C-alpha cells in the first residue's frame, strides 16, 4: 500500500478517535442529551466549518444533532447510551458503584463506556458524513428504549424533515445487514395480596406476603415465555424474545412490613403481526392457570402492556438494501452473511413507519474483561464501517431510483 494511502487511513482513524473522545467527555442520558449535542456540534463546526451543525431541542432537555449536505440518504445514529448517570454506578443495575472511567485507546482498540450503544457507530457516522459531503446526518436523542418513551428524538426530527429517499441506521448489530427489525413492548405483571407484619407472617395474604412467593411468579412467567417463543416462529430476519428485567416489592426503609404487591417487569421482542392485547391476554391466562394451585391462588393478577412499536421491514430488493449489499462487498471483500432470528430493535422501525426504506448496519463490540460496563471496539474495523457509510452517502453504491415494490415486499413491509 502506498504511503499516502496509509497516511489517509491514519488521518481518518485519528478523526474517529477524536470523535470518540468528544462523545466520551459529555454524558448524554436519555432525554437529556442537549449538552452533549451542543459539545459535539461545537467540535464538528470547528473541524468542518463548511457544514452547518444544528442542535435541535425537544422536550425539556432532549436534543438531536442534525446536519444537511444536499440530497441523499439519511444517516442515523443516536446520542444517548443504554445506561446513563442514573444506572451506570448503581450496584442494583451493574453490580458496581465505582466510576466507569474515561475512554482508553490501546493497541488499535477503543475501550470505554457506551461505545456499543452507540458512540462507536455514531462517531463513524459523523466522520462518514463529513467525508461524503452529501445527504443528511441525524444523531438522535432518546434512541434507546425506556419506559414512557417512544423515540422522541427521531419523531421530533421527522416532524419537520424534508422528504428522505432512504435511511442508513448506524448502530452496532450482527456482522451483516438488517432490513427487517422486530417490535418491542414492556409488560408489567402485578400480583396483589394483602399487607402484613414481618413479625406475624400469617397477617398477610398469602402467608409471608407476596414477596415470599416471588419464585412461584417467576417460574410461571418462564413457562409463558417458553410458550411464547414456541408459538412465534422467526419471520424473515427477526425473531421473538422475552427477558425479565426488574422485580419490585415492599419498602426498603421499613422491611418489617410485608408488601401487598409484587411487580415484575418484562421486555418483550415481537415478530410481525403481534398485538398488545394478545400479549396481555395470553400472559394473564397463563398466570391465572399456573398460580391457581399455589399459595397465590387468592391473589389478584394483572398484566399491563406498554407497546413501543410493531415490527417493520423494508423490502429485500429496495435500492438502499441493494446498495448496502454492494458497498459491503466492496469494503469487506465478501457478501454480508445472512441474518436470521435477530432480536434487537432500533429507531429504524420508526423510520419505516414513516415510509422510509431503511437498512441497519454497524460495528460489533465486546465487553471489557475488567469492567462489563465498558465496551471494546476495534478501530480498524470501525474505520471500515466509516468507509461503508461514506460510500452509501456519496452515492458510490446507492441507486437513485426506488425499485417498484413487489407483492412480496409489500407483505413484508406490513
For 129-173, the pLDDT digits (tens) are: 999 999 999 999 998 888 877 789 999 999 999 899 999 999 999
Query: In terms of C-beta density within 10 A (0-12 exposed, 13-18 middle, 19 or more buried), how is residue 353 classed?
Result: middle
The domain 183-309 is classified under which CATH number: 3.30.70.360, 3.40.1130.10, 3.10.20.30, 1.10.3470.10? 3.30.70.360
41: cell is 456540534
Q: What one-character-per-residue DSSP string does 152-181 give?
A: HHHHHHHHHPPP-S-EEEE---SSS-BSEE
Level-2 CATH architecture, domain 3-181+312-413? 3-Layer(aba) Sandwich (3.40)
Residue position matching grid coordinates 457516522: 125
Rounded CA-CA distance 238/273 in Å is: 12
32: cell is 437529556
Domain-wise residue ranges, the chain? 3-181+312-413, 183-309
Alpha carbon distances (Å) from 115 to 77, 112, 178, 190, 284? 12, 6, 20, 35, 38
- Beta-sheet strands, E only, within 249-382: 257-258, 261-270, 300-309, 312-313, 358-361, 366-367, 374-378
Residue position matching grid coordinates 441493494: 322
pTM of the model: 0.90
Q: Taken in order 393, 396, 401, 402, is the CA torsion positive or negative?
A: negative
> Can 3-181+312-413 and 183-309 be said to share one CATH topology?
no
Three-state SS for 323-356 is: HHHHHHHHHHCCCCCCCCCECCCCCHHHHHHCCC
Q: What is the pLDDT along the chain (414 residues), one digit of tens a residue?
A: 333 334 434 555 799 999 999 999 999 999 999 999 999 999 999 999 999 999 999 999 999 999 999 999 999 999 998 877 666 777 888 888 888 999 999 999 999 999 999 999 999 999 999 999 999 999 999 988 888 777 899 999 999 998 999 999 999 999 999 999 999 999 999 999 999 999 999 999 999 999 999 999 999 999 999 999 999 999 999 999 999 999 999 999 999 999 999 999 999 999 999 999 999 999 999 999 999 999 999 899 999 999 999 999 999 999 999 999 999 999 999 999 999 999 999 999 999 999 999 999 999 999 999 999 999 999 999 999 999 999 999 986 544 443 333 333 433 333
Amino acid at each position: 500500500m502506498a504511503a499516502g494511502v496509509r497516511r489517509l487511513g491514519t488521518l481518518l482513524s485519528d478523526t474517529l478517535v477524536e470523535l470518540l473522545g468528544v462523545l466520551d467527555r459529555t454524558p448524554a442520558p436519555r432525554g437529556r442529551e442537549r449538552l452533549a449535542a451542543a459539545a459535539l456540534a461545537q467540535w464538528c463546526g470547528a473541524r468542518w466549518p463548511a457544514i452547518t451543525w444544528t442542535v435541535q431541542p425537544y422536550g425539556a432537555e432532549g436534543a438531536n444533532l442534525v446536519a444537511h449536505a444536499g440530497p441523499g440518504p439519511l444517516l442515523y445514529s443516536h446520542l444517548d447510551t443504554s445506561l446513563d448517570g442514573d444506572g451506570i454506578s448503581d450496584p442494583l443495575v451493574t453490580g458496581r458503584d465505582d466510576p466507569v472511567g474515561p475512554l482508553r485507546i490501546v493497541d488499535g482498540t477503543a475501550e470505554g463506556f457506551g461505545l456499543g450503544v452507540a458512540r462507536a457507530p455514531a462517531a463513524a457516522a459523523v466522520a462518514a458524513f463529513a467525508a461524503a459531503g452529501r445527504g443528511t446526518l441525524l444523531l438522535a436523542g432518546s434512541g434507546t428504549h425506556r419506559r414512557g418513551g417512544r423515540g422522541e428524538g427521531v419523531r421530533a426530527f421527522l416532524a419537520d424533515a424534508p422528504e428522505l429517499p432512504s435511511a442508513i441506521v448506524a448502530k452496532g448489530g450482527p456482522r451483516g445487514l438488517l432490513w427487517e427489525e422486530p417490535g418491542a413492548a414492556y409488560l408489567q405483571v402485578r400480583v396483589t395480596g394483602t399487607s402484613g407484619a414481618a413479625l406475624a407472617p400469617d397477617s398477610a395474604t398469602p402467608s409471608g406476603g407476596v414477596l415470599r412467593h416471588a419464585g412461584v411468579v417467576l417460574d410461571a412467567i418462564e413457562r409463558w415465555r417458553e410458550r411464547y417463543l414456541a408459538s412465534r416462529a422467526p419471520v424473515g430476519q427477526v425473531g421473538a424474545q422475552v427477558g425479565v428485567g426488574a422485580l419490585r416489592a415492599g419498602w426498603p426503609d421499613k422491611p418489617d412490613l410485608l408488601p401487598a404487591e409484587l411487580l415484575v417487569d418484562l421486555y418483550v421482542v415481537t415478530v410481525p403481526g403481534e398485538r398488545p392485547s394478545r400479549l396481555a391476554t395470553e400472559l394473564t391466562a397463563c398466570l391465572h392457570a399456573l398460580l391457581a394451585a399455589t399459595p397465590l391462588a387468592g391473589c389478584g393478577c394483572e398484566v399491563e402492556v406498554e407497546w413501543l412499536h410493531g415490527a417493520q421491514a423494508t423490502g429485500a430488493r429496495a435500492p438502499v438494501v441493494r446498495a448496502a449489499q454492494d458497498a459491503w462487498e466492496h469494503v469487506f471483500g465478501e457478501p454480508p452473511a445472512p441474518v436470521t432470528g435477530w432480536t434487537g430493535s432500533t429507531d429504524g422501525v420508526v423510520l419505516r413507519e414513516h415510509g422510509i426504506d431503511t437498512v441497519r448496519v454497524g460495528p460489533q463490540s465486546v465487553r471489557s474483561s475488567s469492567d462489563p460496563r465498558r465496551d471494546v471496539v476495534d478501530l480498524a474495523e470501525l474505520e471500515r464501517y466509516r468507509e461503508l457509510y461514506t460510500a452509501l452517502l456519496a452515492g458510490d453504491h446507492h441507486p437513485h431510483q426506488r425499485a417498484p415494490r413487489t407483492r412480496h415486499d409489500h407483505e413484508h413491509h406490513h
